[in-house]
Copies of this chain bind each other. A is one copy, B any other.
Amino acid sequence: MPPKKPLILVTNDDGVFAPGIRVLIKVMRTIGNVVVVAPDKPQSGMGHAITVGVPVRLQKIKSEKNYKEYACNGTPVDCVKIAKDIIIKGNPDLLVSGINHGSNASVNIIYSGTMSAAIEGSMENIPSIGFSLTDMSYHADFSHTEKYIAQITKTVLKNKLPDGICLNVNFPPKSKKKLNGLAVCRQARAYWKEKFDARTDPHGRNYYWLTGVYENLDAGKDTDEWALKHNYVSIVPVQFDLTAHKTLLTIKNWNFDEK
């Protein structure tokens, strides 16, 4: 009897019809049985949002042997939760999210619906990986990512991940240069210096477009930003324990009663 194929849950934040998730589905179908539950519309920048004030709906798009696909009106994190509870009725063997159109390296992870879906998976002890391409274009070329995605996925299925840890994998944009391989690294210290573009609407009211400049404050060669800049695929292991353990010891010594 051939070994049982792993059950793989696929989601993203660009929506179920985005080209990036289509590439990810194609690769996953060569590895396991696949359930797709992804947002019915773009949900970029949704972070770890969940839907609490309105109900969540599912639309079945496809149902074939070893393949099911649903669109969901909720956020990426909603998709993970409803896939588990309503579709799979338990944990899949693996969760993959992406391929995101745009980088989720460094602090971008914090705003990313794609990575929040992977983090949600790790909160449920599902081995989870988020994949992103540092090219925001709808028509981005994902062809150089496929081989590495298959490799990383198979390695995670084999080695598992520690409880509560997922992977944040980012790819440099497609170029003529061959990728230099994989780099396991840490999240760079960077931030978005926001700059609102102020305008006036036809009714005389002000409105503001959120724009920003990305500033990398981190010169470390062990970071995801360094790896991407030098044409490596960056892999950052991610945790959801946000405790700043070092600072905890400092603050324990503060005198809060002081006037």
Chain A residues in the interface with B (C-beta under 8 A): 42, 44-53, 55-58, 74, 77-78, 81-82, 84-86, 107, 109-111, 116, 119, 123-124, 151-152, 154-155, 158-159, 161-162, 164-165, 167-168, 182, 184-187, 189, 191, 194-196, 198-199, 205-210, 235-245, 247-248, 250-252, 254-259
Would B162 and A199 count as touching, CB distance under 8 A?
Answer: no
The residues of B that contact A42 with a CB separation of less than 8 Å are 53
- Which residue of chain B is the closest to A48 with respect to CB atoms? B47
Task: Give the one of A42, A74, A162, A196 with max B CB within 10 A.
Answer: A196
Would B48 and A48 count as touching, CB distance under 8 A?
Answer: yes
Would A247 and B123 count as touching, CB distance under 8 A?
Answer: no
Would B191 and A123 count as touching, CB distance under 8 A?
Answer: yes
Would B58 and A206 count as touching, CB distance under 8 A?
Answer: yes
Task: Give the one of A109, A195, A237, A240 with max B CB within 10 A.
Answer: A237
CA distance A167 to B251 in the complex (A): 10
Known contacts A49-B49, A243-B237, A248-B186; decide if A81 and B151 are in contact (CB<8 Å): no
Would A247 and B187 count as touching, CB distance under 8 A?
Answer: no
- Which residue of chain B is the closest to A50 with respect to CB atoms? B45
Known contacts A162-B250, A244-B165, A256-B152; decide if A52 and B186 are in contact (CB<8 Å): no
The residues of B that contact A124 with a CB separation of less than 8 Å are 191
CA distance A199 to B209 in the complex (A): 38
20 chain-A/chain-B pairs, Cβ below 8 angstroms = A45-B49, A45-B50, A46-B49, A47-B77, A49-B111, A50-B111, A55-B209, A57-B205, A58-B206, A74-B210, A82-B196, A82-B208, A85-B195, A85-B196, A86-B196, A109-B242, A155-B254, A155-B258, A161-B247, A239-B243
